[in-house]
Amino acid sequence: MSKASPMADDRYWMGQAIALATLGSGTTRPNPMVGSVVVKDGVPVGSGYHRRAGEDHAEVAALRRAGDSARGATLYVTLEPCIHHGRTPPCTDAIFRAGITRVVTALEDPNPAVAGRGIAALEAKGVQVTTGVLEPEAETINGPFLNLHRTGRPLVTLKAAVSQDGRIAAGAGQSKWITGAEARTFAHRLRFCHDAVLVGAGTARVDDPLMTVRLEDLELSGAGGPLPVLLSVSMDLDPGLRLFENAASGGTAVRVYTVGGGSSRSLPGAEVVTVPAGPDGGLDLAAVLDDLGRIGIRSVLVEGGARTFAGFLDQGLVDRWAIFRAPVVLGEDGGTPLVAIPASPSPGDGWWMETERTFPLGRDRLTLATPVRYQQCSPV
């Protein structure tokens, strides 16, 4: 195996494979997004991507299109080919049968079922393998999958709609709607790209959210939509909430987390899971994420409320913020702040964010950021 400086052609064709991989965004769970291109004598003869779990992997899709032209060709694929039997046969077998003589991959697969064994199997059969081509770009599109297999936990994004003065609800607790139609549509796209959507019990009671993806142009068939997750210490939950009614009528069951030793009450349309208490009297959110990782959840979109946001921040479990800011001032008299935490004694002691990107959505503005806890700097 060589992890050499890739040729310009390798970088180009891997870029094409990465672009193909992103076509599976939101539909491959729990699998990664993977794209593949078969190239012979500098000409692409087949390409494909993984559409959803149980269907052809990207390599197989590309090889089907290449047919006999694959013999003696190079196969570019964004992730190490699998070697195990899952819902589909090993991709390494398909590569051998097709007569591929060289495989170029961006990443080794951290899944313990693969973890370098696919590359080793290819090399054992005389296939030349090059790895690490456009590795950072391939990492970016599959961050949740890679993180799950490296840490056992899903990536966590906190999503909030706020006013100019940092409020997520008005004095009466009303939060519908702070943002406009364009921002709300984009929020549904965020849901579509996450494996689970999570709220606290307070948000469930006040907003009564469905926690589903409602966009006509997105194909959910086979993906099932995100898993609805609800946090409740007391289990004082109304079975008439829309998310429970939706689950009971055939939608995805709601995964409810509560404190071990608390109420054992059952709810129609819910799967209740107990976890230890957290340091703030709430739930141990690390245990919640561990359980979600155990069932294959790669990414979680946390949608509120203020106490739930605070819990994830305090326990150091936030990977990303998505903040929709509307051009409105709600005032402090009874308005709900973004995060229910005590005021920091100084700016240097607060929760800082490193902005990745900011862009307009109609009248509103979305900021994507990574939390960073800065300390006071010293000039010496």
Is there a binding annotation on residue 29? no
3-class SS of residue 47: strand
Is there a binding annotation on residue 203? yes
Beta strand residue intervals within 233-377, DSSP E: 254-259, 270-275, 299-302, 320-325, 336-337, 352-361, 364-372
CA distance 128 to 106: 14
Is there a binding annotation on residue 307? yes
Chain-centroid distance, C-alpha 121? 30
Is there a binding annotation on residue 305? yes
Tokens of 310: 């605070």
Find the helix or strand (DSSP H, E) in which 46 lies: strand 43-49
CA distance 334 to 172: 7
Q: What Cα–Cα distance (Å) separates residue 371 from each residue in 136, 252, 261, 335, 352?
A: 20, 31, 33, 24, 6
Is there a binding annotation on residue 311? yes
Is there a binding annotation on residue 214? yes
Closest CA to 231 of 191, 157, 293, 281: 281
Q: What is the CA radius of gyration of the chain?
A: 23
Quick check: is 139 catalytic?
no
User: What is the maximal distance between C-alpha atoms in the chain?
Assistant: 72
Closest CA to 34 of 111, 130, 106: 106
CA distance 322 to 235: 28
Is there a binding annotation on residue 310? yes
DSSP 251: S
CB burial of residue 333 (10 Å; 0-12, 13-18, 19+)? exposed
Is there a binding annotation on residue 25? no
Is there a binding annotation on residue 308? yes
CA distance 182 to 250: 29
| Secondary structure (H, E, C), 156-211 | EEEEEEECCCCEEECCCCCCCCCCCHHHHHHHHHHHHCCCEEEEEHHHHHHHCCCC
DSSP 6: -
Is there a binding annotation on residue 117? no
> Of residues 59, 123, 135, 332, which has the active-site annotation?
59
DSSP 338: S
Q: What Cα–Cα distance (Å) separates residue 106 from each residue in 43, 80, 136, 241?
A: 20, 8, 8, 45
Is there a binding annotation on residue 96? no
Is there a binding annotation on residue 175? yes
Residues marked as catalytic: 59
Residues making up the annotated binding site for Zn(2+) are 57, 82, 91
Residues making up the annotated binding site for substrate are 175, 191, 203, 214, 303
Residues making up the annotated binding site are 57, 82, 91, 161, 175, 177, 191, 203, 207, 214, 303, 305-311
